[in-house]
Structure 1
Amino acid sequence: MPDQDTAEFRPAPERTSPTPWITLAALVCAMAAGAAWWFWLRPVAPAAAPAPVAAAPEALVAPPPAPEASGPQNLIDALAPPDAALPALAESDKRVTELLAELLGRDQLTMFVLTDGFVRRVVATVDNLGRAHAPSRMWPVQPTPQRFVVDGTGDAPTTVAAANAARYSAFLAFAEAVPMEPAVALYARLYPLFQQAYEELGYPKRYFNDRLVAVLDQLLLAPEPRGPLQVKLTPVNTEVPNLRPWVRYEYADPALEALPSGQKILLRMGPANEARAKALIRELRKRVATGELHLPPR
């Protein structure tokens, strides 16, 4: 990847108010995952919908940034040794694309993944999934097909259409087909590139794999809806007609709208898809969380 101003990938300031990496990206970004992140699917609408949900109180508030650590809590060396001769991060796209094509198949790679700046995209997206906003321009995956649809019309609150869940089916199938063990091993081999990209974001004394584990934990705490999620259009004070109203929806429930971006993406996917995504996230976490074995409650 040609050298570029990494400020584009830095997280936006936090608001004070109210897969292996490729699996997370495919979830994340889905979520992604992986990569991802998850986080995983690039949303067409900025947010998607709310109604009755069962949520742990801690799921409603993003955790504070991790303090500077004296060393990584989740060591990556136990997974696989890093490649001895990695290219420079700014020139890594070709090599990373070749390795991803070997792992996933070139057709699948082209269909689902954005390889330009892949390492930086994954790192920025994983970090942002635990924050209020995860800008879609940084995501490492292709956008989901079709547009976000609701059951009603006009400015009155309505519910997310059940048909939206189908938009994520192909991505979930892709993420579930990623061979977990080889993917995690490839992540470990390329890890110095991910760590460098994370340091470039402004975290010179923190560790990307620790951030990945923390975000996976947060995703597992996402609420699980018991019924259709209600959404409303974000008010716009302008006389200019909005030709793309489907990108203005947000959760009607303030508690859901205040969730971290990764949890809101999981909710938007629908209950069945969220369950499938969380199963993948748990499997990924078992492999990359080498520091301890505790898992968030189901």
Structure 2
Amino acid sequence: MQTRTIALITAAVLALAGGAAWWFTRGQPAPRPPRAQAPAASPAPATPPAATPPLAEAGPEHPIEPEPAASAAPLPALADSDALLGQALAGLVGRSGVLTFLATDGFVRRVVVTVDNLARGMAASRLWPVQATPGRLQLLAAGDAQLIGADNARRYQPFVAFVASVEPSQAAALYRRLYPLFQQAYVELGYPKGHFNDRLVEVIDHLLAAPEPARPPAVALVEVKGEVPSTRPWVRYEYTDPALEALSSGQKIMVRVGLANERRLKGWLAGFRQAVAAQR
């Protein structure tokens, strides 16, 4: 079990960001009514049948309104966007917040790949757009069991406070301004017909559905046999409850940060979702 936290950050602190919304349905065109045949004095020459119209591709479920070009300078290329992102994030959360909590090198790609992986079984920590949370997993002995201790939740409180300090609507405004970069990174990730904002909204919904255990979850250290001892054994803890262990990487993290932190993050995510998702 990783000991770092993760946030669905998109642009600023776009917090903890499943589903498979990037697959699009294609609708069949409505059948044309039969054309009336006019009587002909002589047989007309055969004509090739009309080509079947291409299937219409569904548009994004949650479209992002583009910012008028006259209101801002053009965006840089994705490969050259780190400087702009660093300045934009510092303007939103402060330079100290950026240095303390965020990993800004390749930030756009980090956000996109992490968001895409949060609803899966594994989200590689080396690609996260956030820094490591100091300390290690804190446990509490309860008979023969080991529970995640209250001190573990305290480790995440500075980060959760950092997320909560950002107004969701302001983070969403920056996200919309920079959205073409996120969309390009999503296409390059392997979804040429996908829409990143749809994926983001689906992943946020997935995280909002994370369980909220009333009691601290029990964990167990997974034994790894070999001659070389592990220097970080705490990353090998798993939930003993099969239902919790079967959760996605993102939902496991939501549970691990502690109930109070989880609910606070969910409140932020709900506000951010409202700002970027089409209203139904």
Tell me if both proteins adopt one fold, taking TM over 0.5 as the criterion.
Answer: yes
Deviation, structure 1 residue 32 = 2.8
Specify the alignment match of 1:57 in structure 2.
none
Do 1:114 and 1:142's aligned partners in 2 also have CA atoms closer than 8 Å? yes
What do the CA deviations read for 1:50-74 (whole angstroms, capped 9, x no partner)? xxxxxxxxxxxx6456423521111
State the one-letter code of the partner of 1:232: A
Which sits farther off after the overlay, 101-110 or 193-202?
101-110
Do 2:168 and 2:272's aligned partners in 1 also have CA atoms closer than 8 Å? yes
Do 2:9 and 2:16's aligned partners in 1 also have CA atoms closer than 8 Å? yes
Do 1:157 and 1:252's aligned partners in 2 also have CA atoms closer than 8 Å? no
Deviation, structure 1 residue 28 = 6.9
SS in 1 for 2:140: coil
Do 2:5 and 2:257's aligned partners in 1 also have CA atoms closer than 8 Å? no
Aligned positions, number? 240
State the one-letter code of the partner of 2:23: P
Separation of aligned partners in 2, 1:119 and 1:133: 19
Specify the alignment match of 1:13 in structure 2.
none
What do the CA deviations read for 1:191-214 (whole angstroms, capped 9, x no partner)? 000000001110000100000000
State the one-letter code of the partner of 1:37: A
Query: Which structure 2 residue ranges, 5 or more long, are not aligned?
Result: 26-57
Specify the alignment match of 1:104 in structure 2.
93
Specify the alignment match of 1:232 in structure 2.
220
Specify the alignment match of 2:24 in structure 1.
68
Do 1:36 and 1:126's aligned partners in 2 also have CA atoms closer than 8 Å? no
What percent identity do the matched residue pairs reach? 51
Do 2:204 and 2:269's aligned partners in 1 also have CA atoms closer than 8 Å? yes
1:200 aligned onto 2:176: no
What do the CA deviations read for 1:97-130 (whole angstroms, capped 9, x no partner)? 1111111111211111111001001111111111
State the one-letter code of the partner of 2:108: V
Specify the alignment match of 1:122 in structure 2.
111
Q: Equivalent of 1:178, from 148, 166, 180? A: 166
RMSD of aligned alpha carbons: 2.1
Q: Equivalent of 1:85, from 74, 83, 98? A: 74
1:38 aligned onto 2:13: no
Separation of aligned partners in 1, 2:20 and 2:172: 27
Do 1:33 and 1:281's aligned partners in 2 also have CA atoms closer than 8 Å? no
Query: Which structure 1 residue ranges, 5 or more long, are not aligned?
Result: 1-26, 40-61, 294-298
Deviation, structure 1 residue 180 = 2.3
Do 1:37 and 1:122's aligned partners in 2 also have CA atoms closer than 8 Å? no
Separation of aligned partners in 2, 1:65 and 1:76: 15
Specify the alignment match of 2:246 in structure 1.
258
Deviation, structure 1 residue 84 = 5.1
Do 2:182 and 2:196's aligned partners in 1 also have CA atoms closer than 8 Å? yes
Separation of aligned partners in 2, 1:28 and 1:286: 23
Separation of aligned partners in 1, 2:123 and 2:152: 20
Q: Equivalent of 1:269, from 235, 257, 263? A: 257
Given the two structures, how large is their TM-score scaled by the length of structure 1? Answer: 0.75
Deviation, structure 1 residue 277 = 0.8
Separation of aligned partners in 2, 1:269 and 1:93: 29
Specify the alignment match of 1:133 in structure 2.
122
What do the CA deviations read for 1:180-232 (whole angstroms, capped 9, x no partner)? 22221111111000000001110000100000000000001100101120101
SS in 1 for 2:121: coil
Separation of aligned partners in 2, 1:242 and 1:96: 37
Specify the alignment match of 1:167 in structure 2.
155
Do 2:153 and 2:257's aligned partners in 1 also have CA atoms closer than 8 Å? yes
